[in-house]
């Protein structure tokens, strides 16, 4: 594919809706992968950011991004183009990230604990500076299980609606809400443990 023709196709595809692009990918009417590229460009940045947040390591996030879109392409056969694509892409990314984290945690279990990684050693940030406080909040999020972290990110950072999260997780809206609430409770605990939130403030 020459660059020129690629550019022309991309311009044509820019107006393509998610559903149309997914239909083309599904029906095989996308031999040049132009529709797929549109999907990638449209959702890739957000997905990459999501994966960076979950996986931390840039290389791992790149691999996961790659894997996400490969799985997405392979999964178009069973995808209903009438469904919203964005939650679906995020659900695939979430599964990929959880796979990576599982493999990573298995590796880490066989290795000695890294320095400073022991739980319960989080410093109390009473009166900490803005940057330290910010870092502590992000640490609190990082301390959550991937399932909880991902759902929080989807909702809070990427702004997915409850219906979209439910669609992506193949569950009911009520279940999605309950999972989010569970994640919130756990995050609240972590924040309290790190001194970001203190009941004393309230009393």
Partner 1 sequence: MTCVEIRSLLPFRPLEVLEEDEAEGVSAHLASCQACSKLAQTYDGAFETLREPTEDDAMPATKGDFAAGPLPEKVFEKIVARIASPEAPSAGVATTPDLSIALVCSFCHDVLARDQTCYCASCLAPHHDDCFRSHGRCSAYGCEETRTVRPQLERASASAAPARSRGPRRSRIIALGTVLVLGGAAAAASSYLSKPMTVENKAAPTAMPPAAATPPTTTTRVAFTSQELKDVPVQEALDFFAKNSNDVVADPSVRGRVSVRVEGPNDWPAALESVARQLKCRVLPVGYGMRALVPMADTDWDTAKGDVRTLLKDLCSKSGKNVIVAPDVYGTMRGNLRGLPWRRAFDTIVSTCDLYCGEYDGIVVVAAHELRGARSFDADEANVRPRDGTPDATVDLTLKDARVDEAILALAKVAHVTVVGAIPPSEARVAFSVHDVSWFDLLNYLAWTGNYRIVQPSPTEISLEPRRPHDSKVEPSLHCVRASAAELVQVLASRAGKNFVISPEVRARILDVDLVGFGYEAALHAIADAYGFKFDETAGVLTVTLNKEAKVAQSSYGSGLVARIDYGEAVQAYVGVVQTILHVPGDPSACEVLIDSRGDGQEAHGVGELLELKTNSLKGGVTQVGSCKAKITAIRERSIELEIDGTWKAEMFLGKF
Q: Let me know: does 194 contact 122? Beta carbons within 8 Å.
A: yes
Which residues are CB-neighbours of 187 under 8 A, at least 6 positions away? 140, 141, 144, 148, 152
Residue of 130, 120, 136 lying closest to 196 (CA atoms): 136
Binding to partner 1 (CB under 8 A) within 78-137 occurs at: 95-96, 98-100, 102-103, 105-106, 133-134, 137
The number of helix segments (H) and strand segments (E) in the chain equals 10, 0
Binding to partner 1 (CB under 8 A) within 146-165 occurs at: 147, 152, 155-157, 162
Options 11, 12, 41, 163; binder of partner 1; rule CB under 8 A: 41
CA gap 141, 136 in Å, rounded = 9
Q: Let me know: does 187 contact 148? Beta carbons within 8 Å.
A: yes
Region binding partner 1 by CB under 8 A among candidate stretches 16-24, 38-46, 83-91, 117-125: 38-46
H/E stretch holding 95 reads helix 85-110
For partner 1, the closer of residues 82 and 145 by Cβ is 145
14 binds partner 1 (CB under 8 A): no
Least Å distance between CB 80 and partner 1?
19
Q: Cβ–Cβ contacts within 10 Å for residue 105, how many?
A: 11
Q: Which phi-psi region, left, alpha or beta, contains residue 119 (left: φ > 0; alpha: ψ -120 to 50)? A: beta
Please count the residues of this chain forming the interface with partner 1, following the rule CB under 8 A.
63
For partner 1, the closer of residues 24 and 53 by Cβ is 53
Region binding partner 1 by CB under 8 A among candidate stretches 15-23, 35-43, 84-92, 117-125: 35-43
Q: Give me the residues that bind partner 1 (CB under 8 A), please.
A: 33, 36-37, 40-41, 44-45, 48-49, 52-53, 56, 58-60, 62-67, 69-71, 73-74, 95-96, 98-100, 102-103, 105-106, 133-134, 137-138, 140-141, 145, 147, 152, 155-157, 162, 177, 180-181, 184-185, 187-188, 191, 196-199, 201-203
């Amino acid at each position: 594919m020459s660059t020129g023709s690629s550019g022309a196709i991309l311009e044509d595809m820019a107006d393509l809706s998610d559903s149309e692009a997914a239909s083309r990918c599904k029906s095989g009417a996308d031999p040049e992968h132009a529709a797929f590229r549109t999907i990638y460009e449209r959702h890739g940045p957000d997905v990459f950011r999501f994966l960076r947040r979950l996986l931390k390591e840039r290389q791992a996030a790149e691999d996961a991004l790659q894997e996400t879109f490969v799985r997405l392409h392979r999964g178009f056969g069973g995808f209903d183009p009438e469904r919203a694509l964005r939650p679906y892409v995020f659900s695939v990314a979430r599964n990929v990230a959880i796979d990576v984290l599982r493999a990573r945690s298995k590796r880490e279990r066989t290795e000695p604990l890294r320095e400073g990684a022991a739980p319960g050693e989080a410093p109390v940030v009473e009166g900490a500076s803005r940057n330290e406080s910010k870092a502590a909040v992000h640490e609190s999020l990082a301390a959550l299980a991937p399932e909880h972290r991902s759902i929080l990110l989807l909702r809070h950072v990427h702004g997915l609606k409850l219906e979209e999260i439910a669609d992506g997780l193949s569950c009911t809206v009520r279940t999605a809400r309950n999972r989010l609430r569970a994640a919130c409770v756990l995050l609240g605990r972590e924040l309290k443990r790190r001194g970001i939130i203190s009941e004393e403030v309230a009393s």
